[in-house]
Amino acid sequence: MDESLLPFFRPAGIVVVGASTSASKLGYGIARNLTTSGYAGAIHFVSQGAGELFGRTIHTRLARVPDPVDLAVLVIPAHSMPAGIRDCAARGIRAAIIISAGFREAGTEGAALEETCRELARATGLRLLGPNCIGIIDTHLPLDTSFLQPPMPPRGGIAFISHSGAFCAAIVDWSRRQGFGFSQIVSLGNQVDVSEVEVLSAVAEDRHTRVIVLYMEGVSDGVRFVRAAREVSRAKPIVAIKVGRSESGQRAASSHTAAMAGSDLAFDAAFARCGIMRAATTEQLFDWARALEDSPLPAGPRVAVLTNAGGPGVIAADALETQGMRLAALDDSTRRLLTARLPAAASVDNPVDMLASASPEDYASCLDALLKDTGVDAALVILPPPPMHSAESVAAAIIPIIRVSSKPAVVALLGSDLTEAAFEAFCAAHVPTYPFPERAATALAALFRRATYLGALSQETAGRPFDVVAPASDSTAELMAAYGIHVIGLRLATSPQEAATISRELGFPLVMKIASPAILHKSDVGGILLDVKDAESAASGYTHLLEAALAARPDAHLDGVHLQRQITGGQEVILGALRDPQFGALVMFGSGGVEAEALKDVAFALAPIDAAEADDLMRRTWAGRRLDGFRGIAPVDKSAARDALMRLSWLAFEHPEIDQVEINPLRVLPAGAFALDVRRSP
Amino acid sequence: MDESLLPFFRPAGIVVVGASTSASKLGYGIARNLTTSGYAGAIHFVSQGAGELFGRTIHTRLARVPDPVDLAVLVIPAHSMPAGIRDCAARGIRAAIIISAGFREAGTEGAALEETCRELARATGLRLLGPNCIGIIDTHLPLDTSFLQPPMPPRGGIAFISHSGAFCAAIVDWSRRQGFGFSQIVSLGNQVDVSEVEVLSAVAEDRHTRVIVLYMEGVSDGVRFVRAAREVSRAKPIVAIKVGRSESGQRAASSHTAAMAGSDLAFDAAFARCGIMRAATTEQLFDWARALEDSPLPAGPRVAVLTNAGGPGVIAADALETQGMRLAALDDSTRRLLTARLPAAASVDNPVDMLASASPEDYASCLDALLKDTGVDAALVILPPPPMHSAESVAAAIIPIIRVSSKPAVVALLGSDLTEAAFEAFCAAHVPTYPFPERAATALAALFRRATYLGALSQETAGRPFDVVAPASDSTAELMAAYGIHVIGLRLATSPQEAATISRELGFPLVMKIASPAILHKSDVGGILLDVKDAESAASGYTHLLEAALAARPDAHLDGVHLQRQITGGQEVILGALRDPQFGALVMFGSGGVEAEALKDVAFALAPIDAAEADDLMRRTWAGRRLDGFRGIAPVDKSAARDALMRLSWLAFEHPEIDQVEINPLRVLPAGAFALDVRRSP
């Protein structure tokens, strides 16, 4: 992490400025938490009135605080903050957490105050976290600069970074009975200085952190964020909820925080690029995180479901399929093992239903057989309170099997009173455990997506996979040519002779169209000739088109005739690129025309993309899947479409001055793909 | 309810056959629960060994059990069941619950045994629930014939009917800490006699039941089920999870129970028809149920969100919009009230963010203002642990406001230790409370869907809204004509004269096509004439088409020439109807051709449908929405398409002998809609 952030995460001494002896004040809560957290460094208090607090002297001036002190927690009124920052800098403090509210979120006056604080931070080199935040909790160090009700959240491997302090507080309280714990919690507040980008990288370095959870309301610098997150997510999974998804959500986000909500599509594309797994709900956020924290990753999507009851087994099968997973086909040897073990009425098909009589030993031996089956990538164990046994005896029997397996196994533990002891045993053993089969299935799917991302990462090609010849000019045609995108150009002829000459250069058959800005609907005036097969026809066609146009529109100015190589057959798709203000160039693939708009058959990715990402965009759209052929629709040259898409993404990436560029249509033939029309702005 | 089911729900005396003094046996658990449940009627035990159990004599023969006794709980080995049933009938018992397993689910032998039981039930008139079930729990009567661990689930207004006994058991245990209770729980088992249809109607009559939750693996009689559920859901909401949604789920369902999983599309259509709200997950099932149990219904989709923290407010806004709800635009007078009450930095836009300082009084007075706003249909209150107040003081302040309002308000209570007392207060006051804003939003959306269903019900037209003239024959053309569907017929001419005559009858312009079974691609042989404008052209066209066909295919047999009125312009859609083996006729609307298949732009409903349902099918598809016009696509006569769809649904409904009928395409013009091709089987 950046050296300047070290005092936030490894402070040698901390001073609470605005500490209070009044139990109803935040400055009291912070002093209390810091003292009781077990923090091993120096702790100092500063307040207007002298005295003692938690066995320590209260200093009335920051200048009097003795060494060591490198981190300040500021909980003084907003209007005193500039002075407070100056005092910190004067005392040689390197970092400060501003807990106090009353800044940008409170209106224009607060915003001005916040700007003053930012300038002071720049001028003094003091790093600032907040304002309007609840600080930092590190359960392992330990350290707690928050005012939240003790005790600290349980220790664990999940780091939580949040733009919302209230959400932090709620999650900390909610998490107490959930069976997972936190490594670090960082509340970002208004991000006057330190933003989610720097904190993400810093938190990732913590050796206790195994997965990172983000609550995001926006992004401070999209490009830096993607770079940092991409680096982090190679080593540690990141799960995020990005709010402001909906129109009204975006309105709400912009009214309550100054963070830009940004385009949701761009966030999807950015998250996909850097391997951030975007959760749809808060519950999913932590369902995924706890699986990612503890489980090995599956090599594939084939899941074995083990149950003692049919109903929940079917629920699991449904949910797995909805999530893109598959029920594994069990090997004959596995089925023989299961058959030998289980009563005749049991089902040794997947889901394996051992029946209600299943003993802990049945659970263990069947799970062992399933996890050893080479056709099984993961297991989902369903455990309703067994009628004849205790759930915790089943937990005790299967935990060792799960711990030694290199394949992930998650548990759907259905119940409450009867399953409480089992729940605790599973949590203690770091077995991801969920109250319903659906949530367990979602967690397995998250593990599989993580595995897929890491697999794709290893295949990734670095840099632009093709050469670009410097274009002779900035014209769209030159630029497309430089990036190797085949555009079927329009050439203007101004005489029959020139039409003949150009026609020979272009090759046949040709389309010829009257060229006149005044004539929009060319076919209405007989202004289009198809299937022009030789130079003679081109010359006579020129004359014919001009005569027809003159007859229909005697007043129109005619530039001449456009010639274009005629390309028929194949399929049409649309390729595009546009610039997102936060994340830069996005590339788009989909169906052209009205259908694209109405059916939203388009997919986006952050540019540039490689072949695998281009394939993914095509897989996600009907326009792309159709290229492989479908019923009466013949297959076409998908690799040519992939190539054009990849090249366009590099063009957009390397030309930030272009705001939008669209190839509509790209005609994909049995061999080759050709841009028939290219528009760009500016 | 059917008289014969009364002993299940209001037994005068119960005998447990197979009662046991051994605590590890199911027969012990049942005897224990029955005794401790508080059941007020007579309780008897029968077992092979005499003795005493829970202070009652154990009889060794059923015949010796004294009056009153009208319900038996059979927990004897499967092979003894036929004898047990005979004994019950001989003793004058009218109903029996078979707890024991070992029947259809255990293989062919068990299936034969089950068939014997069914025949015995029919022969003796004894009603049977089960086998392979956990019986009936009624918390209000009270009554508990299950062997589940005591105590009984908490009392409440949710009735739960389940095809899976294990799922029942798991839900009962899970529910203990969820803040809602059950009125009745009925486990259906293998449904040898009594099925979900009869139980649904019976349970609905219970005055304590306010909402019914179904766990379904299939349906025993689709048509009866729809009729019963439609009747029930007028008065009490029904929420269902139907498993076997996915392919592998369906496989799993059919391997573990003999219930037909049925087509999932047909279930969707059937549920929609009878107002059953289909939950996607188990969690959703009960999230919806607890809202439907306690809340008034919203008059519209406009929701006010009240929060003390921005983040969860944005999450709620996102989730509401995803669920088809809207953020209400607040009235100026409401905003003035909020402004007067709240600090300047608070947001009086919806979501209303009162800031972390919000007091219980702030919550109460703002919620009151929001619920009184005529532009607000419902409220979602977000309550993370307030930093300065206790969550339970907020609960105490807002519960009275919620109780007196005629609009629904749900609470997202974020936390655990700090919110426990508030949770209990909300539950006691029957305020639907959820741990996350997303789940609260889903519950509000469920309330709105219920309101919408009831609203549509009141608009419903009874019976066929048009007359059908008895068709002269069974031909497709006659049938379509009888139902008032305009088919552009094909007429065969076998001479130029006949072509001229027919052309005059049909009107102009016409299409003429060579009629020959041997010539599939008519245009390849010049076998199509468009734009035939008068009778003379029709006559000469006849000759021309025959000559062209003969020239191209001298060997082909030619029937003559087909004439059809030429209809161009407008839009094409597909209408269809097919027979589901469980639910009967389904009607379909969507995009025709390959697109329909690839993009699944089709929607289904149970036939017959009225105008509102036809509109709904059109609204759910791009093919239908497009009829209103879109960008360059001109609007067409949507009411003609609606009418054709409605008429086709009645045709399919009233002609069960027709397996499939498809109009592809129906051409919808600016005025009118015409079937250009109709296929049917048989």
What CATH number corresponds to the domain at position A556?
3.30.1490.20
Residue A653 resides in a domain: yes
With beta carbons less than 8 A apart as the criterion, state whether B349 and B328 touch: no
Confidence category of residue A597, pLDDT binned at 50, 70, 90: low
- Nearest CB among B173, B385, B594 relative to A415 is that of B173
Distance CA B658, CA B577 (A): 9
Residue of B nearest to A106 (CA): B345
User: In whole angstroms, how far apart are CA B66 and each of A46, B52, B62?
Assistant: 84, 16, 9
- B302, B284: one domain: no
Task: Give the model confidence (pLDDT) of A40-66 as tens digits.
Answer: 999 999 999 999 999 999 999 999 999
With beta carbons less than 8 A apart as the criterion, state whether B529 and B541 touch: yes
Distance (Å) from the alpha carbon of A506 to chain B's nearest alpha carbon: 31
Task: Give me the interface pTM, i.e. the ipTM.
Answer: 0.88
Distance (Å) from the alpha carbon of A681 to chain B's nearest alpha carbon: 22
Residue of A nearest to B146 (CA): A387
For residues B600 and A425, the model is more confident at A425
Contacts of residue A626 in chain B, CB cutoff 8 Å? 598
With beta carbons less than 8 A apart as the criterion, state whether B278 and B270 touch: no
CB contact under 8 A, B311 and A162: yes
CB contact under 8 A, B601 and A601: no
Residue A257 reports pLDDT greater than 50: no
CB contact under 8 A, A598 and B630: yes
DSSP letter for each residue of B153-208: PPEEEEEEEES-HHHHHHHHHHGGGTT--EEEEEE-TT-SS--HHHHHHHHHT-TT
Q: What is the structure's pLDDT at B177?
A: 85
Chains A–B, number of C-beta pairs less than 8 Å apart: 283
Contacts of residue B353 in chain A, CB cutoff 8 Å? 255-256
- B265, B137: one domain: yes
CB contact under 8 A, B255 and A349: yes
Answer with the one of A274, A290, A306 that is the final residue of a domain.
A290
- B434, B311: one domain: yes
Residue A254 reports pLDDT greater than 50: no
Residue A474 resides in a domain: no
Distance CA B210, CA B290 (A): 10
- Nearest CB among A311, A349, A384 relative to B243 is that of A311
CB contact under 8 A, B170 and A251: no
- A45, A164: one domain: yes
Distance (Å) from the alpha carbon of A167 to chain B's nearest alpha carbon: 6
Residue A252 reports pLDDT greater than 80: no
For range A641-663, the mean pLDDT:
94
DSSP letter for each residue of B595-607: HHHHH--EEEEES
Q: Percent of chain B scored above 70 by pLDDT?
A: 97
CB contact under 8 A, A173 and B416: yes
- B205, B271: one domain: yes
- Nearest CB among B257, B314, B319 relative to A253 is that of B314
- B560, B584: one domain: no
CB contact under 8 A, A633 and B594: yes
Distance CA B342, CA B168 (A): 47
Distance (Å) from the alpha carbon of B525 to chain A's nearest alpha carbon: 21
For range A196-212, the mean pLDDT:
97
Residue A468 resides in a domain: no
Confidence category of residue A470, pLDDT binned at 50, 70, 90: confident
- Probe site for chain B from A167, A256, A417, A444 (most B CB atoms < 10 A): A256
Closest among B275, B270, B269, B266 to B297, alpha carbons compared: B275
Q: What is the structure's pLDDT at B257?
A: 30
Q: What is the structure's pLDDT at B262?
A: 46
Distance CA A378, CA A204 (A): 27
B42-81 burial by CB neighbour count: b if 16+ within 10 A, else e? bbbbbbeeeeebeebebbeebeebeeebbbbbbbbebeeb
Q: What is the structure's pLDDT at B93?
A: 97
Task: Give the model confidence (pLDDT) of B578-637 as tens digits.
Answer: 998 889 999 999 987 666 667 778 899 999 999 999 999 999 999 999 999 987 789 999
Q: What is the structure's pLDDT at A335?
A: 97
User: In whole angstroms, how far apart are CA A31 and each of A7, A94, B109, B562?
Assistant: 18, 20, 73, 93
Residue B550 reports pLDDT greater than 80: yes
Answer with the one of B458, B478, B500 that is the final residue of a domain.
B458
Contacts of residue B165 in chain A, CB cutoff 8 Å? 309
Residue B502 resides in a domain: yes
Mean residue pLDDT of chain A comes to 92
- A279, A304: one domain: no
Distance (Å) from the alpha carbon of A542 to chain B's nearest alpha carbon: 31
CB contact under 8 A, B311 and A163: yes
For range A565-592, the mean pLDDT:
90
Contacts of residue B415 in chain A, CB cutoff 8 Å? 170, 173-174
Closest among A233, A180, A225 to A204, alpha carbons compared: A233
CB contact under 8 A, A439 and B283: yes
Q: What is the structure's pLDDT at A258?
A: 29
- β-pair partners for A72: A15, A96
Distance (Å) from the alpha carbon of B387 to chain A's nearest alpha carbon: 8
In this structure, of A532-546, B256-270, B657-671, the range with the lowest mean pLDDT score is B256-270
Residue of A nearest to B315 (CA): A243
Distance (Å) from the alpha carbon of B166 to chain A's nearest alpha carbon: 6
Residue of B nearest to A384 (CA): B170
Closest among A320, A325, A318 to B244, alpha carbons compared: A318
Residue A442 reports pLDDT greater than 60: yes
CB contact under 8 A, A166 and B309: yes
Answer with the one of B229, B262, B290 that is the final residue of a domain.
B290
**Amino acid at site A352:** V
Distance CA A362, CA A125 (A): 64
Distance (Å) from the alpha carbon of B317 to chain A's nearest alpha carbon: 5
- B247, B388: one domain: no
CB contact under 8 A, A173 and B439: no
Q: What is the structure's pLDDT at A249?
A: 53
**Amino acid at site B313:** G
For range A359-378, the mean pLDDT:
98
- Nearest CB among B166, B175, B310 relative to A309 is that of B166
Ramachandran angles phi, psi of A616, nearest 5°: -65, -45
Residue B472 resides in a domain: no
Residue B469 resides in a domain: no
Residue B68 domain boundaries: 3-290
CB contact under 8 A, A326 and B248: yes
CB contact under 8 A, A315 and B282: yes
CB contact under 8 A, A594 and B631: yes
Distance CA A237, CA A162 (A): 16
Residue B191 reports pLDDT greater than 90: yes
Q: What is the structure's pLDDT at B247?
A: 60
CB contact under 8 A, B166 and A384: yes
The CATH number for B580's domain is: 3.30.470.20
- B133, B181: one domain: yes
The CATH number for A437's domain is: 3.40.50.261
Task: Give the model confidence (pLDDT) of B47-77 as tens digits.
Answer: 999 999 999 999 999 999 999 999 999 999 9
Residue A479 resides in a domain: no
Residue of A nearest to B435 (CA): A174
Distance (Å) from the alpha carbon of B215 to chain A's nearest alpha carbon: 9
Contacts of residue B345 in chain A, CB cutoff 8 Å? 101-102, 105-107, 110
CB contact under 8 A, B418 and A321: no
Mean residue pLDDT of chain B comes to 92
Residue A262 reports pLDDT greater than 70: no
Cα-to-chain-centroid distance, residue B500 = 55
Residue B24 reports pLDDT greater than 90: no
Distance (Å) from the alpha carbon of A218 to chain B's nearest alpha carbon: 11
- Nearest CB among B171, B353, B630 relative to A256 is that of B353
For chain A, what is the domain count?
A: 4
For range A143-171, the mean pLDDT:
94
CB contact under 8 A, B243 and A315: yes
- Nearest CB among B175, B251, B344 relative to A107 is that of B344
Contacts of residue A385 in chain B, CB cutoff 8 Å? 149, 169-170, 173
Residue B480 resides in a domain: no
- Nearest CB among A107, A177, A601 relative to B345 is that of A107
- B276, B344: one domain: no
Contacts of residue A20 in chain B, CB cutoff 8 Å? none
Alpha-carbon dihedral angle through residues B338, B339, B340, B344, given to the nearest 10 degrees: 130
Confidence category of residue B457, pLDDT binned at 50, 70, 90: confident
CB contact under 8 A, B177 and A416: yes
- Probe site for chain B from A28, A114, A315, A357 (most B CB atoms < 10 A): A315
- Nearest CB among B107, B167, B632 relative to A594 is that of B632
CB contact under 8 A, A174 and B247: no
Task: Give the model confidence (pLDDT) of B637-662 as tens digits.
Answer: 999 999 999 999 999 999 999 989 99
- B412, B389: one domain: yes
- A541, A586: one domain: no
Contacts of residue A169 in chain B, CB cutoff 8 Å? 384-385, 387
CB contact under 8 A, A166 and B439: no
Confidence category of residue A632, pLDDT binned at 50, 70, 90: confident
